[in-house]
Amino acid sequence: MAGRCRRLSVGPWGRDLMAAVDAFLLDCDGVLWDGPRAIGGAAEVLRSLKERGKRVFLVSNNCSRSREEVAGKLEAWGLAAGPGQVYTTGRCSALYLRRAFAGPRRPKVYVLGSRALAAELRAAGLWVSGPGEEELPVSRCALDPEVGAVLVGYDERFSFVRLAKACSYLQDPRCHFVATDPDPWHPVSAVAGSKPSNLGDEDKEPRGPLTCTVRPGTGSLTAAVEAASGRKAKVIGKPSRFMFDCINEMEAGTPLDPARTLMIGDRLDTDILFGANCGLRTVLTLTGVSTLQQAHDNLASELPERRRMVPNFYVDSIKDFLPLLAS
């Protein structure tokens, strides 16, 4: 069922929708926060959902923040969410790899990614190789014979040597090849500690010298590894439905009913397509990457793959849910 991209507002549609769904899946970056800052109303909406007995899960393609960190942010908002409700690609990659290493011997994972990603794997009982001798020239860089998987994530320490090591491990066809998410790039604002970018004009700080306007995403780093190894990665994050299956595996007693679940996100190519892939209703929020124009362009397109990237509804911001939930 393709979406029609209607504005979600107080009125019959909005009321019916709030009554018809009992589970909310929310993306984080661009939905609840913009870089390090909370988006206005996000805490209130989450509190209101909880008060109304709705189930809430955070589903994030960002593998640089640990679940604990995300849960900590929620706690600071007065929400005792607990890390169990937070599904990052780091957590889901660990679940995937534990299943992939089915035998008694559990090989090591070579991680191109943040320390938080490595910590998530270790917390799941996996062995991580490295950080190794990445400062050495590539000709003297030793490989770890126990590596049985390469996991590519968002990696600000990505380098030629790391790429060479990943591709060398992947020469062995038994070596698993997993990527946390397909995001090709990120606006600078989505990366913690960087300057905000896509806020309204009144929020813009005066600019110093011109700095990088985009950050390469995991999809970009994965493309390099795929080209040099001649292999394709298994991609964990949205829009693949793997993360939805992870939630239902963890919530085995009370799995989510797709017909009664709403996905809220800021990216058409990941969040909204994820919703379509899982049979959920979707809401695009305009505080992140995708624009309303892009959603309308997809709606007008004759290509079926673009029609799948049309949300059922859109809102200017997460805070537009407040009057809906109060009504």
**In this chain, which stretch among 67-75, 216-224, 261-269, 294-302 interacts with its own copies, using CB under 8 A?**
216-224
**In this chain, which stretch among 52-60, 164-172, 258-266, 302-310 interacts with its own copies, using CB under 8 A?**
164-172
Contact between 140 and its own copies per CB under 8 A? yes
Kindly write down the DSSP assignment for every residue of 244-266, as one continuous string.
HHHHHHHTTTS---GGGEEEEES
* Rounded CA separation 110/108 (Å): 7
* Rounded CA separation 311/282 (Å): 5
Contact between 224 and its own copies per CB under 8 A? yes
# residues contacting its own copies (CB under 8 A): 48
What is the pattern of x (binds its own copies, CB under 8 A) and - over residues 78-117? ----------------------------------------
**In this chain, which stretch among 40-48, 135-143, 196-204, 270-278 interacts with its own copies, using CB under 8 A?**
135-143
* Rounded CA separation 110/89 (Å): 16
Contact between 160 and its own copies per CB under 8 A? yes
The phi and psi torsions of 107 (rounded to 5 degrees) equal -70, 175
Count of residues making up the chain: 327
- Radius of gyration, alpha carbons of the chain: 20
Structure tokens at 36: 């390090």
- Look at residues 222, 188, 192, 183 and name the one whose alpha carbon lies nearest to residue 207: 188
- Look at residues 224, 111, 116 and name the one whose alpha carbon lies nearest to residue 163: 224
Contact between 293 and its own copies per CB under 8 A? no
Among positions 163, 175, 289, 309, the unique one binding its own copies when judged by CB under 8 A: 163
Contact between 189 and its own copies per CB under 8 A? no
Interface ranges with its own copies (CB under 8 A): 137-143, 145, 155-160, 163-165, 167-168, 171, 184-185, 188, 191, 193-195, 209-217, 219-230
